[in-house]
A and B are shown apart, each in its own frame.
Chain A
């Protein structure tokens, strides 16, 4: 099973540069989307998930700095790897991009070896981050399940997703589910027993038994003699 292609986006107002980059990246096996100015790039990045953004610095409408700033300011996108690509080579620009949170900076025209290495680094950062986020989400599932146990609303299959992991968290989820099921079973048993404490007496039948015992001459005799003995 091979991994699905990485989703890249190239944002550049220069059509030649854009096409060059895109076709190179496609040959490398990636899926590539393009945008021809900063605003279109920003819209696209917001509209669906990407793994790495390649961003030109100087563009009409919205320049690379602005797009980068928006990405870093967005709750969902702040961890998205961004590689700035520009012919602007002055130190000032590089420093500004780094300060705004760019992961890398590549000069135009791009050097294929360098580009490949940076994309690979970006992708592995992204994958790590995705793993971490998924991990935290699943930890959150376990925490939620713990509250559910406390509230008595735990569903036995609530942790099935997490329990499938082959790491420590998976073990935790399996052991937890198992223990929660046992607690639930014990509580059910307890409820059953508490119901047994309801004292139900068939009064008619009990009265009949009392009559059978006390209605005889022997009993009346005993009653009389007991009263007599007591009064002495």
Chain B
């Protein structure tokens, strides 16, 4: 059975999009067919990591949610642009970056059933093994919808005081939505921290499995606006961590 995984964080800039993109690529390297939906309708961005720009964006998630097209029409196969030698595939459903479109979704909202149906359709028609939802930070209605339709929610947090409370709220809310699986990913961990210690403390604080403790990486930060780090630096230790995270998410 395929898995729908929402990647979330309470605050923005935590690393959701980079985590999503790297996990997608590592899963595709393992031969999986992977879909990525940018449900961060308010501030879309993951398409940049997949090498898609304004000019090449055609149909979007917005079009589907407004009943203008089938969701599969908005899905772009980005595999060849990423790395033609990937064993699996990566499909992206981008979100519109048109300001008017963004305002309209914000104003009107959309139906959870449509999102859910779109996701099921994608999984079925594209025969996906894994579908990742990149989300908007915080717990607004759109984000709650993405979490509600997922089998797994991955909550990304940074090991600093500002993130702890928001993460705790997120974890509680996701539990009330009865998301079957929940994983925590600690990102941007300063080098001075002992990763095993961080893992144990975070696990204990949220009573939740920690799927990865990723370091703060200057290499990643310097590269990330240009593409998917793990593809450009497959031998980098951080790439190995994304690979392990992908394996853990896929289960």
Query: A residues near B, CB below 8 A?
Result: 189-190, 193-194, 196-203, 205-207, 209-210, 213-214, 218-219, 222-223, 225-227, 229-230
Contact = CB atoms under 8 A, between A and B. Distances in A.
Interface stretch (B64-72, B98-106, B191-199): B191-199
Contacts of B113: 225, 229
A196 to B, nearest CB: 6
A114 B159 CA distance: 82
B192 A194 contact: yes
Interface string B166-200: 00110011001110000000000010110001100
Interface string B134-151: 000001010011001100
Contact of A201 (B149, B165, B198): B165
Contacts, number: 75
Contact of B198 (A197, A206, A226, A229): A197
A210 B165 contact: no
B143 to A, nearest CB: 10
A213 B175 CA distance: 13
Interface of B: 112-113, 116, 139, 141, 144-145, 148-149, 159-161, 164-165, 168-169, 172-173, 176-178, 190, 192-193, 197-198, 201-202, 205
A194 B177 contact: no
- State the majority secondary structure of interface residues on A: helix
A200 B112 CA distance: 34
B169 A210 contact: yes
Most buried by B among A190, A193, A199, A209: A199
B190 A193 contact: yes
Contacts of A225: 112-113, 148
A213 B173 contact: yes
A203 B207 CA distance: 14
B148 A214 contact: no
